[in-house]
Amino acid sequence: MNEKLQSIKEEAIRQIKESDAPEKLNDVRVKYLGKKGELTAVLKSMKDVAKEDRPKVGQMVNEVRAEIETALEETKKQMEEKILEEKLKEEVIDVTLPAKKNLVGHRHPNTIALEEVERIFIGMGYEVVEGPEVEYDLYNFEKLNIPEGHPAKDEQDTFYITKDIVLRTQTSPVQARVMEQGKLPIRMIAPGRVFRSDEVDATHSPSFHQIEGLVIDKNITFADLKGTLEEFAKELFGPETKTKFRPHHFPFTEPSAEVDVSCFKCGGKGCRFCKGSGWIEILGCGMVHPHVLEMCGIDPNEYTGFAFGVGLERIALLKYEIDDMRLLYENDIRFLKQF
């Protein structure tokens, strides 16, 4: 019996050593230790063993079983280590491969232009104020000296929510709101989205952005307005930039002017960019109308002020020499990537 057990053990261990895959080890386990396995068969044949020898044979069977199990375990462990090692070798990281890049977005030309304008005015001591895009007719028109019947109130230009509520057509209502609070002096710019019922073309969009500025204090004159906007133009378009004030009319300022800057492409000689004139129109401005001050609770005998408004898209288009406003809103990443 001992001899038989020894030969079973030797044969099992030989087969274990020959195994080259975990599946084969399992076959060996089944062949020797399984329910119908050879070692199990020995246990089953115990009834043929003399009663007094049974404990001894049982012990031997257990010892052989333990040895086979140990051999199986160790070999399995070695095999798994080897498999892991090979896997690691195969999957070695090539540090010279370029890493996957996360697509990082960046600022829209409008945002870049806005931040530039804000930087300039904050540098001159201005506050940046925001207001509602859905606005009362009262603030969008009435308090800005645009009474009932004024062409600017024509439904063609304005999106009405109700009779008294509109999508703001300008950022000027923010000025009226700030003036009403009565905290003087005021030095502010109000950037934001505005809405007009315009057809989309190269220079128009039903939704665009304005930056309006307002200064109210004692002894503010047109000279302050000129100096401020000249400084702004130089900061924005370069120190050589000249400005030209042309008389104009706005309901909420008196006197009013439109401002041209010398063409920053040709320096004023005239080129395709400025359509040969040497000048580019950039904004509208004027001294705040005394009636506007009054309607907002400010005494026009004590305080004066100036206001100006510039289209943000206009600045972005000029600064980046973009010839079609629609490009700013199409969200074509190939276009936006250039800025």
Binding site for Zn ion (CB under 5 A): 263, 265-266, 271, 273-274
Phi-psi region of 193 (alpha: psi -120 to 50; beta: other; left: phi over 0): beta
Minimum separation from the CB atom of position 318 to Zn ion (A): 11
User: Given the complex with Zn ion, which of 211 and 263 has the nearer CB atom?
Assistant: 263
Place of tokens 């001591």: 125
Contacts of 227 (CB under 8 A, 6+ apart): none
User: Given the complex with Zn ion, which of 278 and 305 has the nearer CB atom?
Assistant: 278
Minimum separation from the CB atom of position 323 to Zn ion (A): 14
Minimum separation from the CB atom of position 240 to Zn ion (A): 13
**Strand, helix or coil at 265?**
coil
Minimum separation from the CB atom of position 309 to Zn ion (A): 24
Separation CA 4–CA 61 (nearest Å):
10
User: Given the complex with Zn ion, which of 255 and 267 has the nearer CB atom?
Assistant: 267
User: Given the complex with Zn ion, which of 269 and 326 has the nearer CB atom?
Assistant: 269
The single-letter code of the amino acid at 235 is: E
Separation CA 242–CA 240 (nearest Å):
6
Separation CA 166–CA 160 (nearest Å):
4
Minimum separation from the CB atom of position 241 to Zn ion (A): 12
| 237 secondary structure, DSSP code | H
User: Given the complex with Zn ion, which of 108 and 265 has the nearer CB atom?
Assistant: 265
Minimum separation from the CB atom of position 280 to Zn ion (A): 7
The single-letter code of the amino acid at 49 is: V
User: Given the complex with Zn ion, which of 24 and 265 has the nearer CB atom?
Assistant: 265
User: Given the complex with Zn ion, which of 229 and 263 has the nearer CB atom?
Assistant: 263
Please provide the DSSP assignment of 292-327 as one string.
Answer: HHHHTT--TTT-EEEEEEEEHHHHHHHHTT-S-GGG
Separation CA 209–CA 111 (nearest Å):
10
Minimum separation from the CB atom of position 100 to Zn ion (A): 45
Separation CA 147–CA 294 (nearest Å):
15
Do the Cβ atoms of 224 and 215 come closer than 8 Å? yes
Minimum separation from the CB atom of position 261 to Zn ion (A): 11
User: Given the complex with Zn ion, which of 3 and 321 has the nearer CB atom?
Assistant: 321
Q: Which residue is nearest to Zn ion (CB)?
A: 263
Instruction: Kindly state the tokens that stand for 259.
Output: 């401002």
Minimum separation from the CB atom of position 219 to Zn ion (A): 37
User: Given the complex with Zn ion, which of 33 and 266 has the nearer CB atom?
Assistant: 266
Q: H or E stretch including 258?
A: strand 253-262
Separation CA 139–CA 190 (nearest Å):
14
Contacts of 284 (CB under 8 A, 6+ apart): 248, 250, 256, 257, 258, 259, 308, 309, 310
